[in-house]
Amino acid sequence: MLNPLANKEIDIIGYGEVKNVRRSGRSTYDVAAEATSRVLEYTGLSTKDIDGMSTVLPSSEAGNNFWSNYLGDHLGLQTSWTQTTDIGGASMPGNVARAAAAIQSGYCETVLSIAAAVPTTRRVDDQRSYRSEFRNPTGIQGPPGAFGLIMHRYMHEYDLKFEALGKLAVAQRNGALVNDFAVEGLRKPITVDDYLNARMVSTPLRLLDSVMPCDGGNAIIITSTEKAKKLGLKNIAHPISYAELTNFNIHDQLPDITETGFGVAGPQALEKAGMSTDDIDMFHPYDDFLIAEMLQLEQIGFCSRGEGSDFLLSTDISPSGTLPINTGGGQISAGQPGLAGGQLNIIEALRQLFGEATDRQVPNPSTAMCTGIGVIPYVRNWGTSAVLILERG
Amino acid sequence: MAKRDKKPRPAPTPTNITQPFWDGINEHKFLLQYDSVADKYQFYPRGLSVHTGKQDLEWREVSGKGTIYSYTETVIPARGFEGEEPYMIVAVNLEEGVRIMSLLHNCPNESVKIGTPVRLCWDKINDDFEYFAFEPDR
């Protein structure tokens, strides 16, 4: 299988993160500026060293159809390659692959991949098509409602053990407790019983199954391995494999809503890397809801279909365990800064690979799998499934 | 279900693609797009057939009968549904081979099961606009 990342010609050389805050009152540009400043400081680069930019269109700026232009201008970037990706929470892992392709094609050499969003301060998005005509007028509670439908169907076909989801909720909360960038209100311990007794939002989905929206942002810098060597940087990670699938099974008008694009993209990403799930040292899945993580475990191949509950219950998913999962709290316990949340798991994976995760450090990890999920379609599963595998350089 | 002050329930804004569908709903006719080449229906209404990519779709009136594929009881209400909670949303597989989602009426929430036969019913959003919902097909 063709894998343009196989030769390890591409490096991620640093990360910058802004603390997640609810109703920060900040502008998207201010958050983007802080994330940019932090990643430049981490790598020792200046804005003049950046010649490419990739980003995601956040709901706080969605009315601006010149978003890339405005953002690059604000940050003081002169770029020969510019990209806004709008496949939701899959945009930022997607941008790693898109930036790598642009660098390998010679369009640019050093890319700032930046995500910033302040949805709890400002929202100007307006989604038409099926959403305004066939979703909102029904009264379904948005994404929690869609995942309530997925969970009940899963329970009809397989065995769902809520204590397994509770274990995952507790493990991620433990990560947020030691993550200074997490929303402060979420930095309180929880138990499996807290999860089981949490208020229902849209049955059988509970409040503690769900993300907490907030404002925040983050950035990474992607360049050629050749350039990274010249810079003499010691903390580098190679993206070694990527697979993405949008509108899985779109021709089927009665699709199985428990089935997702990860059943294709997961095995593809592993095959491209020449790996099996045993070679993955840490799993940093996109986590809008806990059940989404369980579906990914099954469909990427960490366990068989329907075995997700037993897998979670029998696996140590803590930082010192056999498969650490979302060690920084994930979006569910650190907060979801809108679509900028789609790069939080990459930031956490880099922090771990570079040995900088302090109280939650995974012992000497060399590989990480990060994923992205984009959009809730009309009574189907999610729209985009993306899988990125990173390896310490 | 006590009714509190609430925002108006969101009403669809028909487009040139969906206007025939909403015209049908307001006349209590349930119309689906049909692709005669593929011999298949589709929902939601689109500008072309997802089966063949052709635009020559016809609107056909259909039964509105199907079975519950999945369900979720909404406990925290969506905007415009304040005071209606808890209410039931169902995903229904229609006999014509498409899946549709809406409210379930005339059925106690605790008796809802996957596989239950349902039929389409009408659901007034406001004086000008009718929507569709489901009820048990007894």
B20-60 tens-digit pLDDT: 999 999 999 999 999 999 999 999 999 999 999 999 999 99
- The pLDDT score that the predictor gives to residue A130 is 94
Q: Positive or negative CA dihedral for A89, A90, A96, A102?
A: negative
Per DSSP, A158 falls in state: S
**Which pLDDT tens digit goes with each residue over B71-91?**
999 999 999 999 999 999 999
Q: Using CB atoms, which residue from A129, A130, A203 is nearest to B73? A: A203
The residues pairing with B129 across neighbouring beta strands, listed in sequence order, are B126
**Shortest CA distance to B88 belongs to which of B75, B67, B70, B104?**
B104
Residues B72 and B126 in one domain: yes
The average confidence (pLDDT) of chain A is 97
- The pLDDT score that the predictor gives to residue A83 is 97
- The pLDDT score that the predictor gives to residue B127 is 86
**Do B41 and A257 make contact, defined as CB atoms within 8 angstroms?**
no
**Which pLDDT tens digit goes with each residue over B90-110?**
999 999 999 999 999 999 999
Secondary structure element (H or E) that encloses residue A101, with its range: helix A91-104
Give the CATH number of the domain where residue B73 resides. 2.40.50
**Which pLDDT tens digit goes with each residue over A305-320?**
999 999 999 999 999 9
Residues B27 and B67 in one domain: no
**Which pLDDT tens digit goes with each residue over A72-93?**
999 999 999 999 999 999 999 9
Q: Token pair for residue A301?
A: 């191949």
Domains of chain A: 10-124+214-231 (3.40.47.10), 140-209+240-392 (3.40.47.10)
**Under a CB-based contact definition with an 8 Å cutoff, are residues A270 and A277 in contact?**
yes
Residues B31 and B96 in one domain: no
Query: What percent of chain A is modeled with pLDDT above 70?
Result: 100
Per DSSP, A337 falls in state: -
Q: What mean pLDDT do residues A148-165 have?
A: 98
Measure the N-to-C terminal CA separation of chain B; round to a whole number of Å.
24
Q: Which domain holds residue B56?
A: 15-62
Residues B25 and B57 in one domain: yes
pTM of the model: 0.97
| B24 found inside a domain | yes
**Which pLDDT tens digit goes with each residue over A255-292?**
999 999 999 999 999 999 999 999 999 999 999 999 99
Q: Tell me how far apart the alpha carbons of residues A261 and A20 are, in angstroms, rounded to a whole number.
A: 29
Contacts of A52 (CB under 8 A, 6+ apart): A79, A80, A81, A82, A99, A102, A103, A107, A108, A109, A110, A111, A112
- The pLDDT score that the predictor gives to residue A352 is 98
- pLDDT at residue A369 greater than cutoff 90: yes
**Shortest CA distance to A330 belongs to which of A277, A389, A385, A283?**
A283
Mutate to test the interface with A, among B7, B70, B76, B100 (most CBs of A within 10 A): B70
Residues B56 and B33 in one domain: yes
- The pLDDT score that the predictor gives to residue B128 is 85
**Shortest CA distance to B133 belongs to which of B91, B113, B103?**
B103
B75 HSE (CA, 13 A, CB side): 12
Per DSSP, A18 falls in state: -
User: Does the CB of B105 have a partner CB in chain A at under 8 Å?
Assistant: no
Kindly list the strands in the beta sheet with B58-61, ordered across the sheet, starting from the edge strand earlier in the chain: B40-42, B31-35, B58-61
- The pLDDT score that the predictor gives to residue B1 is 45
- The pLDDT score that the predictor gives to residue B4 is 54
Continuous H helices in A274-381? 290-300, 308-314, 330-334, 344-353
Q: Using CB atoms, which residue from B13, B69, B101 is nearest to A138? A: B101
Residue burial B111-125, b: 16+ Cβ < 10 Å; e: rest: ebebebebbbbebee
- The pLDDT score that the predictor gives to residue B5 is 62
**Do B70 and A201 make contact, defined as CB atoms within 8 angstroms?**
no
| B32 found inside a domain | yes
Q: Tell me how far apart the alpha carbons of residues A236 and B114 are, in angstroms, rounded to a whole number.
A: 50
- The pLDDT score that the predictor gives to residue B7 is 83
Q: Using CB atoms, which residue from A128, A139, A156 is nearest to B74? A: A139
Residues B56 and B79 in one domain: no
**Do B44 and A134 make contact, defined as CB atoms within 8 angstroms?**
yes
- pLDDT at residue B2 greater than cutoff 70: no
- The pLDDT score that the predictor gives to residue A1 is 85
Collapsing DSSP to helix, strand or coil, A342 comes out as: helix
